[in-house]
Structure 1
Amino acid sequence: LAGHSQILNKILTFNDVLLSPCDPDCTSMVDDVYQCLSAILATARGPRALVTKGTVSALCQAYLNGGHGSERALTLLVGLLAVAEAKCWQRDAPQLLAVLTKLSSDFLKAEDMTKFELCEVLPRFIPLSHPLTENSQGSECLCRLYKGLADVLGSKLSQSQRDPALKLAASLVQACGAEWIPAGRAGSKFLALLVNLACVEVRLTLEEPDPLEVEGKKEVVTACYVLMEMGIQECLREENPLLENMQKMQLMRIMEEAFGAVIFYLRQVKQEELQDPFIFASVRVLGAWMAEETSSLKQEICELLPFLVDYARKLFKEGSPAVNPPQAELVSTESSALPQDALRFLLPGFCHLTAEDKPRDILIAEGAPALLCEYFLQQWEVLTSEPTAPAPLTSTEMSLQTMCGIFLNLVVTAPDVVRRDKTFSSLMDVLLKSLPLLLPQKHHLVLTANVATLGLMMARILAGSA
């Protein structure tokens, strides 16, 4: 009934009630309006109707006015943002920023459990679609959130208090990278603490995995993965680094132990668990480590390679990974309907590994070259279906470039595989067809050079075997 068009047509009236001054006698009417709006939100057509008819703005105002039922306004906003974040921010950014301003101020000032309750609410108000760093109001909110989090994480906390704080930090990292953390001694200490806490959490949860305990911790561990990924990036950052060299070395050691726990966990995964988004998050973060840190955990990674290739193959075969959003949100523990593209995150690591004998032999034995050839063909189709106008480097183009690097490694170090494996003939056909298309497009220059080099090297080998 709540999704019926006659009810949806009343949304404007409901908004007016929320914005009208509320007499003590009228509280029941306001309660009824909130009940109706909650019911509408729960329907299929409801969220869109609420956004387009201005309910986001009305709820923001109702919350900021602090009148009767204002907490319910906040709850409804959280619900709306959960299902239609981009649309809400696109339409009502100033109002949502005003709410974030109040929430971040309350968060900074709070000295009681409210602080931790706000940790649960705030991530919903940190948009991926609307960069907060672009205006002063958003930047001030980030500054307050940083100070509030520094207070929280610098204190002695119970698990139930620490987890929401880590999730809030992760949502800030997803939205703004490390930009919300100020440069200087305090900022670098905070960043090191964040990554440290994340690594400890990952180790505690994954080193001795009790299935029930892991199940309850997936969300916070996924948040920790986001923080660890930031840790890797910051440890490698040379320009205006937030961390000092000593901190970087310490963090790399701590992260190595945490990634050891991730590998240990992945080695226990059963076939029936492969659809779990948490497995995907674990593989993705390990891919980030493999991409940058090639020397440590080498043996453990080699032992895990059969699983990684098999996992990536299964996901690839199950659907077109290209439809995956480029920025994976904090993975919920519910099963994901979208096929996930694990290969994209593993390619840089595979590129390093194919340059070395032992891991290369394992990858070849597991059929990785054939899988990568198929993936190359599929990604090439995606690239050619994208607009031809010069655009920032897409993940598709980066994947193709990285795969060229992997294939070049194989061509140079394992030419017999290229001769023997029929998929390389198919790859050669694609390279021959793709080069004429790439040549006129100057913005694909690096990929063009990669394709030309790989094609020439492969042609020499394949001609010799013909």
Structure 2
Amino acid sequence: MADGATVDVSDPFSGEEGGEAPEKDAGGGLTDAKREVLERCLHALKHAKNDSQTLAALLLITRLCPACQLDKPTLRRIFEAVGLNLPARLLVTAAKGSGDPGLPPHELLSLGAALLSALSTDPDMASQPQLLATIPLLLKILACGASDQQQTGDENGDGDAGQIPKKISDEAKTARQSEVSMQKGKDDDNSAANEPSTPNPNSPPGKLDEAVAADCYQVLTAVCAQPRGPDHLLNRGAVPALCQALEWNQTLSHRMGLPLLVCLLSGKTKDKAWRAHSAELLLLLVRMSKDFCKSTEQSRLDMCSQLVNVLPPGGVTVERGVLREVVSRVWGALRPMVQAKLTPRQIGPVLVLSACLLDLYGWELAGSPKFCCLLVNRACVEVRMGLEEPPGNDLSQELQDTLTGCYRIMEAAIEQACNPAVMAAASPAPSSISTLSLQQSRQVLGVLEEAFSALMYHLQQLDQSRYGDPFIFATFRCLCSWLAEETSCLKEEVTTLLPILINYSRSHLMAENSEQGLSDWMGKMSVTDEGGTWTGKEALRYLLPALCHLSAEEGPRKVLLTLDTPALLVYYLSHSFTSLKGKSGTSSVREPSMETACSALLNFSVTEAERVRKDQCFQTLEKHLSEALPVLVHKSGLLVLAANYCTLGLMIGRLKSAPTGSGEASQRRFFSTALRFLHGALDAELSPGPVKVSSGWEDSWEEVAELWRLALQALGGCFRSQSWLTELVREEGWLRNTLGMLGCCSALPDQHTQEALEEALCALANQCPLCKQDIMEAMKKHHDTGALSCMRNLKKMIGVK
């Protein structure tokens, strides 16, 4: 040893063999005798003159005390004395196959892995660059086993790490042999019971020593536990290496490698991992699904959670035929489990896996209508049992995970069984639950109603301190999915709950990006288009369809007004448009949530005239619409949103008193844009035949036709309330172009369109003598032909026979 020091390790062990137990050290959990020897070893380590002496001291320390028993200060002293370059050089030397006859490569490999394993138990050391640099080498070792080490070293050796001298002291060799012997005895009690008994015939020759494999996995697991650990592993090839280790049935690959891989696939890195390594992961998924079907009932229960994490996230491109076969195969094994008598703890993973399969393929592969009813019923029962607890009872994380899976089953049932369009379809979608009999459908709706009653009961106990709880958001989202389709049931309970729903949505919208827990959960569940990023808008976005329905009913609408809901919707529109405006291009993607918010505000505008006139938020809305509409009309993909903005602005405008002069600049800008936009809906080509919907509007006409007609009716109201608009109509050429189109074309697209346009022209003629004169001249010119001649109410007002 260095400095002529000799280390005697017999004293501490002789104390253990005798009958008297030595006194414990209060600091690191060692006896006084062991602590003294440890200090001498640390002194020798610090003053070692070469790698041989360093290894001897390290191995004596390892033999004296396992790494898990060393306290953090001791590990820090070892790290400062040795650093991470030495174990890295050991691995490189072993990989290159250049050990001496006294200590062959596999012993160097064992030493290097053991040292890295010990040092990685300290989280600070697990994030050191030197340790991270060894990850590719460790992965190659685990994937290829004891063979192919020459190639491993050549590919992954760190040039700065160098190579360990060939001459290793006999002390080091003797100490390591003792350590291996002790480790072997300890590992015999934890034999690889979970390893498949039949090795893969395609695996390379030579298995990795179990102790070495355990050390390698310990290092990788320690890295994975760091905040950026999963990214470090993913970027260094962990996924394909671990998949290869599992495919070749390498040492501890199932006991330690699979849990590590599952960890990489259970968080934010899941999407990235599947996009980069879909072929390897799909092959693994196929193998796991086959093992799942062949396993015993208890093993299947244990494997459910693993399959949940290994299934691909939505939006990732994989070979659909293979994935479909996997999902169908897993359903086949799951059905008997759903039908069996399982405890709540056992049924939880089964329901969560069922929910994930529904996320991928809906009800198409689930099974018969009877089984689908049973699955929904079991999910609803678990929800009622879990949520109908006395107030103040905390739900365990395990129960929350189960209930979140049940929510997804309920949401999937709502999308099919509660959707009138699906239920009434002559040719139902290829989905088992859409072919329910009337009695089965009523049963599903009945159990869903009971479960949602439990959700509302749970949310009634909600206080603001729990707004950031991801489980509360999952509960809120599930309830909103039901309210989007069904607001007639439990109406009184829903109305009573509105203050909590609105305050919850408002709190998140105003807080925006400050809730990290919810952001992490969104990423894990993959429930947003923003790749799991929490924006603060999610809660209100899910509530909007329900608000659209509820704002049309007098009782709920009065409650919404007391909660200042219109101001919340205006704030949402304004902030959403700011994000939308930042996106480049003219063909932006549709924004259904903004469209729905407009629909709710339209309901208020139609039914609450006095509120619209007096509430400051509607003035703010008018200003926003005047700024936004000129932008939206130039984005072809946002035609439906532009139609909503145009109609909403005109509906508010009809309730305003006439301003002095010729209107404010912002008002003129809005109405000028609105007139051009509405005229662009119909093809104005001066040719005989019926008027056609213009090409830019044709694809969306079914959705926007009613908005277009409502906008024209509102435009007539604006003519009556704001007389200055009649001059703008003439300046913009809207009247001239409209009369020209009606005179030359034989008919409008439909009777409703004709009635809406006729109503606007009647209002215009009634308010403006010049406009009335223009209309009269056009009618006289085309008194026997054209769509204009069919407008009887307009003829009567003008006085033309």
Pick from 597, 604, 615 the counterpart of residue 421 of structure 1: 615
Work out the CA distance in 2 between the residues paired with 1:113 and 1:11. Answer: 35
Instruction: Supply the distance in 1 between the matched residues of 2:480 and 2:289 (Cα, whole angstroms).
Output: 34
**Percent identity between the two aligned chains:** 34
1:438 corresponding residue in structure 2: 632
Q: Is the 8 A contact 2:207 2:250 kept in 1?
A: no
Write the deviation string for residues 24-73 of structure 1: whole angstroms up to 9, x where unpaired: 67222222111111122122443223212222111111112223201211
Distance 1:385 1:321 in 2: 22
Q: Distance in 2 between matches of 1:303 and 1:156?
A: 37
Query: In structure 2, how many angstroms separate the alpha carbons of the residues matched to 1:53 and 1:25?
Result: 21
Aligned partner of 2:349 in structure 1 is: 164
Amino acid at match of 1:78: V
Q: Is the 8 A contact 1:170 1:224 kept in 2?
A: yes
Q: Which residue of 2 aligns with 1:10?
A: 134
What secondary structure does 1:68 align onto? coil
Tell me the residue number matched to 2:265.
81
Among 441, 449, 461, which residue is 1:248 paired with? 441
Deviation at 1:248, TM superposition (A): 2.2
Aligned to 1:223: 405
State whether structure 2 residue 336 is matched by structure 1 residue 151: yes
- The letter of the residue matching 2:410 is M
CA change 1:321–1:254 in 2 (3 A) is farther
Deviation at 1:212, TM superposition (A): 3.8
Q: CA deviation at 1:187?
A: 3.3
Residue number in structure 1 paired with 2:558: 361
Contact 1:400 1:447 in 2 (8 A): yes
Aligned to 2:182: none
> Which shows bigger deviation, 241-250 or 292-301?
241-250
Query: CA separation in 2, counterparts of 1:337 and 1:326?
Result: 9
Q: How does 1:153-302 map to 2 (within 5 A)?
A: 153-174=338-359, 176-178=360-362, 181-182=365-366, 186-209=367-390, 211-212=392-393, 214-216=395-397, 217-235=399-417, 236=419, 237=422, 238=425, 239-240=428-429, 241-243=431-433, 244-246=436-438, 247-302=440-495
Residues in 2 aligned to 1:337 and 1:441: alpha-carbon distance in whole angstroms? 26
More RCO (CA 8 Å, sep 6+): 1
Q: What is aligned with 2:250?
A: 67
Aligned partners of 1:354 and 1:406 also within 8 Å: yes
CA distance in 1, matches of 2:522, 2:464: 26
Aligned with 1:40 (options 212, 219, 223): 223
Per the alignment, do residues 461 and 107 of structure 1 end up closer, same or farther by CA in structure 2, a change over 3 Å counting? Answer: same
Query: Which residue in the other structure is 2:237 paired with?
Result: 54
Pair 1:118–1:211, CA change in 2 (3 A): farther
Change (3 A) 1:98 1:209: farther
Please state how far the C-alpha of 1:242 moved relative to its aligned partner: 2.5
Cα drift, residue 254 of structure 1: 1.1
Distance change in 2, residues 1:326/1:417 (3 Å)? farther
CA distance 1:464–1:416, shift in 2 (3 Å): farther
- Separation in 2, partners of 1:214, 1:465: 59
- CA distance in 2: counterparts of 1:445 and 1:325, whole angstroms: 34
Write the letter of the residue equivalent to 1:317. M
The structure-2 alpha-carbon separation of the partners of 1:264 and 1:209, relative to structure 1 and needing over 3 Å to count, comes to same
Asked if structure 2 preserves the Cα contact closer than 8 Å seen for 1:324 and 1:341, the reply is: no
Assess if the C-alpha contact under 8 Å between 1:132 and 1:138 holds in 2.
Answer: no
CA drift at 1:9: 1.7
Counting helix residues as a fraction of each chain, which structure ranks higher?
1
Aligned to 1:379: 576
Structure 1 or 2, whichever has the larger Rg, is 2
Which 4+ stretches in 1 moved above 6 angstroms? Answer: 321-328
In the TM superposition, what are the counterparts of 1:315-354 in structure 2 within 5 Å? 315-319=508-512, 329-330=524-525, 339=536, 341-354=538-551
Give the unaligned 5+ runs of structure 1.
none
Structure 1 match to 2:210 = 27
- Partner Cα separation in structure 2 for residue 45 and residue 325 of structure 1: 13
Specify whether residues 142 and 346 from structure 1 end up closer, same or farther in structure 2 by C-alpha distance, changes over 3 A only.
same
- After superposition, the Cα gap between the structure-2 partners of 1:373 and 1:202, relative to the gap in structure 1 and judged at 3 Å, is same
Q: In the alignment, does 2:593 pair up with 1:408?
A: no
Q: How many corresponding residue pairs?
A: 456
Q: Per-residue deviation at 1:190?
A: 2.7
Secondary structure of the equivalent of 2:462?
coil
Shift of 1:136: 2.2
Structure 2 unaligned regions, length at least 5: 1-124, 147-205, 528-532, 661-801
Give the corresponding residue for 1:314.
Answer: 507
Whole-angstrom distance in 1 between the partners of 2:208 and 2:544: 64
2:776 corresponds to: none
1:95 matched to 2:280? yes
**Deviation of 1:168 (Å):** 1.0
Report the Cα offset of residue 303 of structure 1.
0.5
CA apart distance, 1:392: 4.3
Matched residue SS, 1:292 = coil
